[in-house]
Amino acid sequence: MRTLVWLLVVGLVALVGIVLSQLGALDPLKNGALTVASPLERGLRTAASPAADFLDNVADRQDLEEENRLLRQQIEELTAEIADLKEAQFTAADLAELAEVEESRPDDQFLVTRVIARDPSNLKERLAIDRGSSDGVSEGMVVMSEGGSLVGVISKALDDFAWVTLITDPNSNVNAMVLESRAQGVVSGSLHDGLSMDLIPQEAEVEPGDTVATSGLGGNFPQALLIGQVAAVRGEPQDMFKKAEVEPAASLSGLENVLVLTSFIATRLVSP
């Protein structure tokens, strides 16, 4: 009987807490807790990183060898490609288009932030960063890696901290385009399966190694932000759409600093 009463009371209190959290009433409390906990978390993470790196290396040794071989091959191919492009004096249509996009956003402003935590749940892919609404960060802002590729979007901004939903999160969807063929689709996250690009028209030519970038459709992301490369293409000829596995350009598991694109305001399109 005592157990039942406890379950009911604590369960009810938990539900009230969830409702209050959804209303934002507990945000100051969360902000305070993160202020206290983040230096400790950083210390613990630093202390644990040699062990994590060691285990990672042991587990990934074979993968690394294969990856190394592929990267060498890719470097060679890219070097040849760069030489070709130089020879053509940057007149290729896709480069011109990229340059146009860059010119159309000359006033982009970034905020450099530090990653302070990763969400430990198995069902979400999120990061905490050490800047929040007091620094001008707001929900919907785009987050990029130091190399300039897409990392995710701000899903919750507290006063001094913010949470970033990564593009690999199961609830993340980004309108994307394969630069080589201009084929459009939607890049989505999944449960531990990396990124996939869905809804690619069957007739579109997509091949492993092709570059995937944001298409800008929908207004939630700027155009031509690098997402990654096509790793494999799936689908039968009778399917309506193709599906491609995408290898993210940014190393999402090892991010230490990220850039928040503060000058881009996401447009929330409402159907007419």
Partner 1 sequence: MRYVLFVPLILFVALAQVATAPYFPLLGVTANPLLVLLMCWAMVRGPKETMVLIPLAGIFKDLITTDPVGTSVLALLPIVPLAAVRERWPTESEFLPTLTAVAAASVSYHLLYMMVLTAVGDGPPWLQSPMRVILPAALFNALITPILYLPVRWATTLSEMVRPGLRVAG
Per CB under 8 A, residues contacting partner 1 are 3, 6-7, 10-11, 13-18, 20-22, 26, 29-30, 33-34, 37, 40-42, 44-45, 48-49, 51-52, 55, 117-124, 126, 128, 155-156, 163, 170-171, 190-193
Q: How far is the CB of 154 from partner 1 (least distance, A)?
A: 12
| CB of 27 or CB of 180, closer to partner 1 | 27
Name beta bridge partners: 187: 174, 197
The C-alpha atoms of residue 196 and residue 185 are separated, in whole angstroms, by: 10
The C-alpha atoms of residue 245 and residue 267 are separated, in whole angstroms, by: 27
Where does residue 197 rank: exposed (0-12), middle (13-18), buried (19+ CB within 10 A)? buried
| CB of 44 or CB of 99, closer to partner 1 | 44
| CB of 114 or CB of 126, closer to partner 1 | 126
| CB of 11 or CB of 148, closer to partner 1 | 11
| CB of 2 or CB of 86, closer to partner 1 | 2
Q: How far is the CB of 237 from partner 1 (least distance, A)?
A: 26
| CB of 16 or CB of 95, closer to partner 1 | 16
The C-alpha atoms of residue 191 and residue 195 are separated, in whole angstroms, by: 10
The C-alpha atoms of residue 215 and residue 230 are separated, in whole angstroms, by: 15
H-helix or E-strand containing 98?
Answer: helix 93-104
Q: Which residues contact 71 (CB under 8 A, 6 or more apart)?
A: none
Where does residue 104 rank: exposed (0-12), middle (13-18), buried (19+ CB within 10 A)? exposed
Q: How far is the CB of 37 from partner 1 (least distance, A)?
A: 5
